Structure 1
Amino acid sequence: MKGAQQAKFPALDDKALQGFDDMLHVLSYTIKKISCEVFLHVSCKSSGGRDPHATTLAIFKLLSSYSWDAKVVLALSALAVNYGEFWLVAQLYHTNPLAKAVAVLKQLPEVFERADALKPKFEEINNLIKATLDVAKCIVEFNEIPSQFITSDASEMSTAATNIPTAVYWAIRSVVACATQIIDLTGLSHEYVFSSTKP
């Protein structure tokens, strides 16, 4: 069995491992930079500064060396890295003592205790995330179509290819919108939580 596993997954040499580590470092740095752009957007928004379009363009500039599918995947990764913990704690808050303790440390109980009142906002965010994931999957699948199946006179392919940048723009702008809403809901602002629950 061990020999079969080695045949399937050959051992990586030090050079390959170093290349993999370098790639992970670059990707994690890029994801952090995307997160910084989103946080900058939220902090400027309260003072009447940066709009979502400017933030989306800043993220586009940051990701200029990446392919279209990589751009949208990295933006969604930044959203997942920064807010995945919140969603996990939110789902387990009422049934798991560890999740409850994490919520207390992050000062989130007010948000979770008013989950019923905030449910429509959370559902809207979840719906937008799901729609953005669907768009991202389509972009990735489009880019994975083998070249032998693409003819030079395929007008549908060329039309689809010209629409990819627009789809990526709106996917990234959706990530900015979702992150902004999540920050607003979890930003420890009692005024926001209480005003959101008023009829």
Structure 2
Amino acid sequence: MSLSFSTNPSSNRSLKHFSDEAVARSIYTRHRDGKRIKFDIDNYIALVDSIITTADRITNGNKEGLKFSDDFLNVDPPIFTLNQISTELTRRAPGIEKAHQTTLNILDILVSYPWEAKAVLTLTAFATEYGDIWHLNHYSLLDPLANSLSMIKGVPFLKKQLNSIKYRQVLLCPNSLIYSCLRAIKYMNQLNKHFKHDVNELSELSSAFSRQIPLISYWIIHIIVAAQFEISSYLNSTEGQPQNYLDELSEKIDSILHTLGSYLNIV
């Protein structure tokens, strides 16, 4: 089921015409909470957190005292699946409709995974590409191969955008889109652990939270898709996302964090 948008071009650029109810109808008709694949979300969160924070320290020129955690050594990533997600993340056009369709495609790829796993695997695919870019940049002054590869990937173009408002809205800042998505995934994981052990005590709250998970996971993936396109636009020197779209996504993830934070305050 696809979402219907107004034919007014200006409204197509606003999430105000993209309601949670419409999104829910779109995803619930195609997806249920997959339980067939066991998933260690804690290790994936540690892995993604390490990649993104280390890459951003390199980006900011803070290369001293970099420490690498081994908390995620037991991760056995589904390489083929991550490659499929990466392909979806890198081949779309800007805007809400394209991000929505890409999100649905990614959900189709991850149909057998639990909802939280869908979100963290999408963020893992994003982090893999992002980390690779800055890893190459880190060694480009010492390694001719790394320098050549970083040139091919467009890293010099990306570096020109580091101080731009839009780049810092997507990454680097604690309240950026990607860091907020990671924080939302951590909150969901905390709540799942709590409700797993206290489901009888807070059954009504647990049920309300469970109903929110698919929608929250959808929006996390949608935001990652939009953020990846913005980063890709810097690498390719092409048009990025509209500023008002990024602003609305910031409002959306802030709202999600507020909702999850409210649950955490109760439990």
In which range does the TM-score fall when normalised by the shorter chain? 0.5 to 0.7
| Equivalent residue runs for 1:77-156 within 5 Å | 77-89=124-136, 92=138, 96-98=141-143, 102-112=149-159, 114-115=160-161, 118-126=163-171, 127-145=176-194, 147-151=196-200, 154-156=203-205
Distance 2:79 2:133 in 1: 19
Distance verdict in 2 for CA 1:77–1:111, change over 3 Å = closer
Shift of 1:186: 0.6
Residue identity matched to 1:30: T
Distance 1:81 1:133 in 2: 14
Corresponding residue to 1:72 among 111, 119, 144 = 119
Deviations, residues 88-140 of structure 1 (Å, cap 9, x unaligned): 456x48x954465653353432442x245x53222111110000001111122
Distance 2:133 2:112 in 1: 31
Shift of 1:156: 1.4
Residue in structure 2 matched with residue 37 of structure 1 by the alignment = 88
Residue in structure 2 matched with residue 185 of structure 1 by the alignment = 234
Shift of 1:36: 1.3
Distance verdict in 2 for CA 1:115–1:147, change over 3 Å = closer
Shift of 1:147: 3.2
Distance 2:196 2:151 in 1: 53
Corresponding residue to 1:61 among 108, 133, 141 = 108
Distance 1:57 1:28 in 2: 20
Segments of 5+ residues of structure 1 without an aligned counterpart are: 1-22, 194-199
Deviations, residues 148-175 of structure 1 (Å, cap 9, x unaligned): 4111762211111110111100000011
| Equivalent residue runs for 1:150-169 within 5 Å | 150-151=199-200, 154-169=203-218
- Aligned residue for 1:65, secondary structure, equals coil
Residue identity matched to 1:130: Y
- Aligned 8 A contact 2:158 2:231 in 1: no
- Aligned residue for 1:144, secondary structure, equals helix
Residue in structure 2 matched with residue 28 of structure 1 by the alignment = 79
In the alignment of these two chains, the number of paired residues is 160
Q: Percent identity?
A: 28
Determine which structure has more spread, i.e. the larger CA radius of gyration.
1
Length-normalised TM-score, structure 1: 0.68
Whichever structure has more helix as a proportion of its residues is 1
Is the deviation greater in 147-156 or in 164-173?
A: 147-156
Distance verdict in 2 for CA 1:159–1:146, change over 3 Å = closer
- Aligned 8 A contact 2:136 2:150 in 1: yes
Distance 2:102 2:239 in 1: 23
